[in-house]
Amino acid sequence: MSIAFFVVPLSLIFQCCKEVINGTIKAKNLVDTLPIKTPLLVLDTLDYNFRLNLLSNGDDAGKWPTKGPYPLPGAILPFFRIVAFYGNLYSKRMGILGEYPVDEMLEKLKKECQNWEAVDSIFPVKPALHYIAVTAQTEGINKNLRMPFQQIEKILSLAKKIDALVFLDIQVGWSSLEVEIPKLEKFLKLPNVHLGIDPEFSMKSEILPGKQIGTFDAKDINYASKYLSKLVKKYQLSPKILVVHRFTKNMVTNVGSIKIFPEVQFVMDMDGFGTKELKKSTYQRHIYAEPVQFTGFKIFYKNDTKISSKELYTPEELLKFIPRPIYIQYH
């Protein structure tokens, strides 16, 4: 078990000792006198392992659950499932987050969270707004567009209404994570804000985003993880979550070299749209076959149902996957 350290005022310690000596309180109740805002946090490793085994869903190949360091106390995964709405408030075409009026969108998100909890109550659901904070473009020097901080602050205010997490997603274009992530530190240092990075729009040559599928190497991903790890240590935060999108092999190279830190929880999110058969095979080839830590699954309300509405995966169906995804994203 790992323990989070905290600072207790000396005046409080002296007062407690004085009361013990005077017999007014018992030593076993000392912790009851500590300030409420400085709780003693301990990671329940038994529950952690139990939930990892549930997510592995009886994998007989031995790939899942993965082995790695325990997270710091306060970790969200695998104690909760995350259900996120993806998109950008400036566009109705980039995802459901910007497609509907905000109050209607939040109600739809709450409904999806309820649907998941109804079929898998062992994993309470945390809602999330997965916001594209840097969008790939075909114009400009870096072939990307950074959203104004005012827009990100609006996302934070919306998340507060339903006690939701926030993910800031980066499409680097011709830029790099080393350039783009530090510009968002103002928000990433907040306890409820996490990070997503999209290899699809990371162009390693002078090809325009959208003309070819991009890529991140393990060294790119490790930079993002190390950056988040340093933020957690610097600001004494609970673990951050890093989501990496993937639907082809070359989108993420040298997967075996991806590093896992106690301060960062890693999700490989199965992106891409299509029929159930196509999406399941993609999940098996690129998510199941190359384990990292946790898995996610992206559902496209429109693109997945171009052939038939029956092609939209339900929570019951996704819970049959090996491993079961703990992060669900709706587009």
Q: Residue 44 falls within a domain, yes or no?
A: no
Query: Which of 86, 138, 129, 56 is CA-nearest to residue 245?
Result: 86
Q: Residue 33 falls within a domain, yes or no?
A: no
Query: Which of 30, 29, 33, 4 is CA-nearest to residue 236?
Result: 4
Least confident of 113-117, 147-151, 310-314: 310-314
Q: Identify the domain containing residue 158 by its residue range.
A: 66-330
Q: Residue 6 falls within a domain, yes or no?
A: no
Q: Residue 206 falls within a domain, yes or no?
A: yes
**Span 234-269, pLDDT tens digits:** 999 999 999 999 999 999 999 999 999 999 999 999
Q: Residue 61 falls within a domain, yes or no?
A: no
**Span 33-45, pLDDT tens digits:** 333 333 447 899 9
Please provide the average confidence, as pLDDT, over all residues in the chain.
88
Q: Residue 24 falls within a domain, yes or no?
A: no
CATH of the domain at 229: 3.20.20
Q: Residue 43 falls within a domain, yes or no?
A: no
Which pLDDT value is given to residue 305? 81
Question: Taking 80 as the threshold, does the pLDDT of residue 4 lie above it?
Answer: no
**Cα 99–Cα 100–Cα 103 angle in degrees, nearest 5:** 145
Spatial distance between the Cα atoms of 257 and 1, rounded to a whole number of angstroms: 26
Mean pLDDT on 136-148: 94
**Span 10-34, pLDDT tens digits:** 333 233 333 333 333 333 332 333 3
How many independent structural domains does the chain possess?
1
Which pLDDT value is given to residue 103? 95
**Span 222-238, pLDDT tens digits:** 999 999 999 999 999 99
* pTM (2 d.p.): 0.86
Output the six-digit token pair for 294.
Answer: 């946790």
Q: How much of the chain exceeds pLDDT 70, in percent?
A: 88
Which pLDDT value is given to residue 41? 78
Banded pLDDT at 291 (limits 50, 70, 90) = very high
